[in-house]
Amino acid sequence: MAAARRQLARSVAARRRVAAEARGGRAGGRGSRARARLPQPRRRGARGLPRPAPARGLPRARRRLGVVGRRRSGRPARPRAARAREGLPHARRALVLPRRRRRGRLRVRRAGGRAGRGGVAARRAGRDGRAGTRRRAPLARRTRADAGGGRVNRPASVGIVGCGVISDHYVENSAAFDSFEMTACADIDAAAARKLAAKHGLEATTVDELVADPAIDVVLNLTPPAVHAPVTRQALAAGKHVYSEKPLATTTADAADLLAGADRLGLRIGCAPDTFLGGPYQSALALLEEGAIGVPLSVSAAMLVTGADAWHPSPELFFADGAGPMLDMGPYYLTAIVALVGPVRRAAGFASTRAAERAIATGPRAGTRFAVTTPTHVFAALELEGGVTASLVTSFDAVDRYVCDLEIHGTEGTLALPDPNAFEGPLRIRLGRGDWQDAPFGSRGQADARGLGLHDLVEAIAEDRPHRASGRLALHVVDVARSVLRAADERRVIEIESRVEQPQPLPVRPGTTVPRA
């Protein structure tokens, strides 16, 4: 009888042990052994971090793992001890706490608009009825990417510095990209920042506050060219990646200093123009790689337009040092030439100024005269790395004229490309002495895809690869433009010191079929 009772007790104990092991609640059970195979965090908190309080009511084995809250179903999450040592907020993100709201991560969907991050403007909009539903950004979407160039959230939080006309284009186009979202804006003119914020549901703030905001991943620098370098430098010092409008800086020395600072800090700089990523130019690149026009021999480009004094109410900036046709419009053409054919090795140039003063022709200041301090007509002769030569004319002196041409001439034909200041337009090809033909998909680019370079920057950080509209490409373009002006002033040929590789083509390029005569 005693033996039977002992056998029954052993059977009951065995069943209880199996049940406990299945639940993972007994130390030494199957569930504990499965978790023990995973890399475990240190029992003691990282220096400067409080040790997480054990959750009450949880099995002892789970408390030792530092799991807080209700157990999730499925395979146990892999602890991230390295991330926990970088800061408490990031440790919380690593643990993915669904019940803990992170500050500043509310997103607001305005009527007919795009969801954006909340903050002060979002909460105010929720109170006065201008916003629709308010919800928390999904934590699963806001992951972190560390790719040897700093970290960014996914989607990245972008803060705009400079709320001029072009800022509207960037914000409106951001709806087409899921890699980033516009969240805040700032301008030295507080009224301009408030206007842009009210229109698009952003948070209006000051430049210093925006740059210092830890929630901002990338600063979009849309300020006037003269302050591009100071704003970019301030953003880098705050640990932010930067995407800037062209030019990167008004001098080669400033541009090189920005790149050196970004490299030193492990950050990235991107810079417009990014129009070479549009359909026509990616199609042209595919045709060149296929040998559609044979071996490229030369490039001819021209940009002759009426000056901004004829249509802009405040055109002085266009005619000041750091602007003019070569530094204001030249980057579109120089970037296209480098992206399609190759970097520049030597440069020569001629320059002239039509008049020392100009008069504003329109707006409330019509008739006001201002000084011109930069050449208004510039001719550049360039020698590229592969021996290809290029000519470029940029001018603000054309009377009632708008010429924006770029052609690439090869041993077997010619490619005619659309205005490199746009993302669309016809791409044409002529083989031998045959007729001009429309190249496939050449006119299917987006009408206004500004922001494509910013999207590629964020994706490149996540994928640990070079971005295409890079700061190094922008430095080379500034170096070439400044060298042309210097060559014209010194009447000699200038060796280009900066070096850059051609940007990689997009993974999926529109149209590779080569028409034949």
24: left (phi over 0), alpha (psi -120 to 50) or beta: left
Q: What confidence tens digit (pLDDT) does each residue in 174-191 have?
A: 999 999 999 999 999 999
pTM over 0.75: no
Q: What confidence tens digit (pLDDT) does each residue in 329-342 have?
A: 999 999 999 999 99
The label of the residue with tokens 């990014």 reads: 274
Other CB atoms within 10 A of residue 205 CB: 23
Other CB atoms within 10 A of residue 195 CB: 17
Return per-residue pLDDT of the chain as tens, 517 residues: 566 556 656 665 666 665 555 555 444 444 433 333 333 334 343 444 444 444 444 444 333 333 333 333 444 343 333 333 333 333 223 323 233 333 333 233 333 333 333 333 333 333 333 333 223 233 233 333 333 345 677 799 999 999 998 999 999 999 999 999 999 999 999 999 999 999 999 999 999 999 999 999 999 999 999 999 999 999 999 999 999 999 999 999 999 999 999 999 999 999 999 999 998 999 999 999 999 999 999 999 999 999 999 999 999 999 998 899 999 999 999 999 999 999 999 999 999 999 999 999 999 999 999 999 999 999 999 999 989 999 999 999 998 778 889 999 999 999 999 999 988 889 999 999 889 999 875 444 455 688 999 999 999 999 999 999 999 999 999 999 999 999 999 999 999 999 999 999 987 544 444 333 3
Domain residues of the chain, as ranges?
A: 275-447+468-495
Give me the residues paired with residue 371 across strands.
357
- Is the alpha carbon torsion for 285, 290, 293, 298 positive or negative? positive
Question: Cβ neighbours of residue 112 under 8 Å, at least 6 residues apart?
Answer: none
C-alpha closest to that of 242 among 225, 261, 217: 217
Q: Are 286 and 512 in contact (CB under 8 A)?
A: yes
Q: Give the whole-angstrom CA distance, residue 296 versus residue 454.
A: 30
Question: Cβ neighbours of residue 284 under 8 Å, at least 6 residues apart?
Answer: 340, 408, 415, 417, 427, 439, 442
* Strand order across the 269-271 sheet: 203-205, 180-186, 156-161, 218-221, 241-244, 269-271
Instruction: Identify each DSSP E strand in 369-492 by its residue range.
Output: 369-371, 377-384, 389-395, 397-410, 413-417, 428-431, 437-438
Tell me whether residue 73 is exposed, middle or buried, using C-beta atoms within 10 angstroms of its C-beta: 0 to 12, 13 to 18, 19 or more: exposed
Question: Cβ neighbours of residue 331 under 8 Å, at least 6 residues apart?
Answer: 246, 247, 272, 273, 474, 477, 478, 481
Question: Cβ neighbours of residue 355 under 8 Å, at least 6 residues apart?
Answer: 372
Q: Give the whole-angstrom CA distance, residue 220 versus residue 222.
A: 6
Q: Are 221 and 244 in contact (CB under 8 A)?
A: yes
C-alpha closest to that of 246 among 323, 184, 309, 299: 323
Question: Cβ neighbours of residue 337 under 8 Å, at least 6 residues apart?
Answer: 299, 301, 344, 382, 384, 390, 392, 406
Radius of gyration, alpha carbons of the chain: 29
Does the domain at 275-447+468-495 match CATH 3.20.20.120? Answer given as no
Q: Give the whole-angstrom CA distance, residue 40 versus residue 55.
A: 18
